[in-house]
Amino acid sequence: MKTAKYLVPNDYMADPAVHVFNGRLYIYPSHDRESGIPENDNGDHFDMKDYHVFSTGDIETGTLTDHGVVLDTKDIPWAGRQLWDCDVACKDGKYYMYFPLKDKNDIFRIGVAIAGKPEGPFIPQPDPIRGSYSIDPAILEENGTYYMYFGGLWGGQLQRYRDNKALESAEFPAGDEPAIPSRVVKLSQDMLQFAEEPRPVIILDKAGKPLTHGDSTRRYFEASWIHNYQGKYYYSYSTGDTHRLCYAIGDNPYGPFTYQGVLLTPVVGWTTHHAIVEFKGKWYLFHHDSVPSGGQTWLRSLKVVELEYNPDGTIQPIEGGGTGD
Ligand code: FUB
């Protein structure tokens, strides 16, 4: 598969998290919908209410099974609004879905829902994870230890926190100061809480200096993803308002990670968000764009394309087809 293909032509799905469970590929996207809420920098127009799960045994030529609605905000006791990007991990035969959702005070928290099968349905815990904040959880499993990466700027509220404490009001660094980092945290044995205080994910340039807030075409904005390739940890993310997917490489789950480059140039639409996964001997980039909706930024469509590495372990960049405006 050398050209990108759309996966769910009859509905709007975005923000894919993708895993292989029991030899089958499972996709956990956000479910976009038309809410009529005007577009703003706070992301109020991304007013999603439920998740579907999709799966296939053959991503190249097979069909995708839609397992239907597997979690709905009406079943989450602490729900306010906006069910954004989720991820799923498997431990001891149970499947844990981690999802960001605003609580009744309009603060993003991260919740957990549990299923006995990868296709759900997922039953939510009564409360969000203690001490959780912001959006875009992504899970790494490493020899039986599970790490969550999370955080997003602007509507994702990450600028409202420092050292894991809420600030009186949002604060952005000066352009020459270190960028606001995403966070990484080890999960508890029961998968339901943080096992430690979240730590900053530091991205360094090739000279070993942390990327600055003003370095907006390279610094972190949202959409964490992490995967292993040839013994290295590849941390990838969106630069948000400059619309790139970039990646950085580290030697352990906590980083630091050294910036490598762009893996997907801007797509049509404002957000860009992805998952990278190996399936049946090939690597794939799952992502989204707003081409099918005619560029409506809140109505995004799922895509997949094959991803290729160079012999030195760098990733061959893919053209997203957008202008980046
Ligand atoms: O889908 C809502 C938000 O848009 C996600 O959480 C971000 O990563 C961006 O894709």
Q: Is 87 a catalytic residue?
A: no
Structural domain contains residue 177? yes
Please tell me the distance from the alpha carbon of residue 198 to that of residue 203, in angstroms, as a whole number: 16
Please tell me the distance from the alpha carbon of residue 253 to that of residue 167, in angstroms, as a whole number: 27
Q: Is 222 a catalytic residue?
A: yes
SS3 240: helix
pLDDT per residue as tens digits for the range 216-269: 999 999 999 999 999 999 999 999 999 999 999 999 999 999 999 999 999 999
Average pLDDT, the chain: 97
Please tell me the distance from the alpha carbon of residue 129 to that of residue 106, in angstroms, as a whole number: 16
| Closest-CA residue to 158 (of 190, 185, 180, 131) | 180
Q: In this predicted structure, what is the pLDDT of residue 323? A: 87
Q: In this predicted structure, what is the pLDDT of residue 324? A: 82
Q: In this predicted structure, what is the pLDDT of residue 1? A: 74
SS3 99: strand
What is the mean predicted confidence (pLDDT) over 56-60? 97
Beta strands at 245-250 and 257-264: parallel, antiparallel or unpaired: antiparallel
**CA 273 to ligand 1 centroid distance, Å:** 7
Q: Looking at the predicted structure, is the pLDDT value of residue 325 above 80?
A: no
pLDDT per residue as tens digits for the range 184-197: 999 999 999 999 99
CB-based burial label for 209 (10 Å; 0-12, 13-18, 19+): exposed
**65 to 25, 62, 75, 249: CA distances (angstroms):** 10, 10, 24, 34
Q: In this predicted structure, what is the pLDDT of residue 144? A: 95
pLDDT per residue as tens digits for the range 33-57: 999 999 999 999 999 999 999 999 9
Token code pair at residue 200: 């900053």
Active-site option among 205, 222, 319, 325:
222
Query: What's the structural domain count of the chain?
Result: 1
CATH of the domain at 107: 2.115.10.20
Residue closest by Cα to atom 7 of ligand 1: 223
**CA 311 to ligand 1 centroid distance, Å:** 32
Structural domain contains residue 101? yes
Closest-lying ligand 1 atom to the alpha carbon of residue 238: 8
Residue 133 CA neighbour count, 13 Å, CB half: 21
User: Which range of residues forms the domain containing residue 120?
Assistant: 5-307
Q: In this predicted structure, what is the pLDDT of residue 244? A: 98
SS3 5: strand
Residue 14 identity (one-letter amino acid):
A
**CA 154 to ligand 1 centroid distance, Å:** 11
What is the mean predicted confidence (pLDDT) over 56-83? 97
Name the helix (H) or strand (E) containing 144: none
**CA 207 to ligand 1 centroid distance, Å:** 31
Structural domain contains residue 317? no
Active-site option among 11, 15, 41, 87:
15
pLDDT per residue as tens digits for the range 118-170: 999 999 999 999 999 999 999 999 999 999 999 999 999 999 999 999 999 99
Ligand 1 pocket, residues with Cβ under 6 angstroms: 14-15, 30, 46, 84-85, 135-136, 152, 222-223, 271, 273
What is the mean predicted confidence (pLDDT) over 290-319? 98
Q: In this predicted structure, what is the pLDDT of residue 321? A: 94
Name the helix (H) or strand (E) containing 182: strand 182-186
Residue 249 identity (one-letter amino acid):
I
Task: Label residue 15 left, alpha or beta by phi (over 0 means left) and psi (-120 to 50 means alpha).
Answer: left
SS3 84: coil
pLDDT band at 25 (very low <50, low <70, confident <90, very high): very high
Q: In this predicted structure, what is the pLDDT of residue 3? A: 85
How many helices and strands in the chain, by DSSP H and E? 0, 23
Pocket test for ligand 1, best of 136, 153, 287 (most atoms within 8 A of CB): 136
Structural domain contains residue 322? no
Residue closest by Cα to atom 1 of ligand 1: 84
Closest-lying ligand 1 atom to the alpha carbon of residue 135: 6
Structural domain contains residue 138? yes
Pocket test for ligand 1, best of 12, 13, 15 (most atoms within 8 A of CB): 15
Please tell me the distance from the alpha carbon of residue 31 to that of residue 308, in angstroms, as a whole number: 28
Which residue shows structure tokens 């598969």?
1
Q: In this predicted structure, what is the pLDDT of residue 303? A: 97
Token code pair at residue 64: 């995708």
Using the CB atoms, write b or e for 138-170: b if 16+ within 10 Å: bbbeeeeebbbbbbbbbbbbbbbbeeeeeeeee
**CA 15 to ligand 1 centroid distance, Å:** 6
**306 to 1, 60, 249, 279, 309: CA distances (angstroms):** 6, 10, 20, 10, 10
Structural domain contains residue 323? no
Q: Looking at the predicted structure, is the pLDDT value of residue 114 above 80?
A: yes
Structural domain contains residue 315? no
Structural domain contains residue 321? no
Contact 173, 213 (CB under 8 A): yes
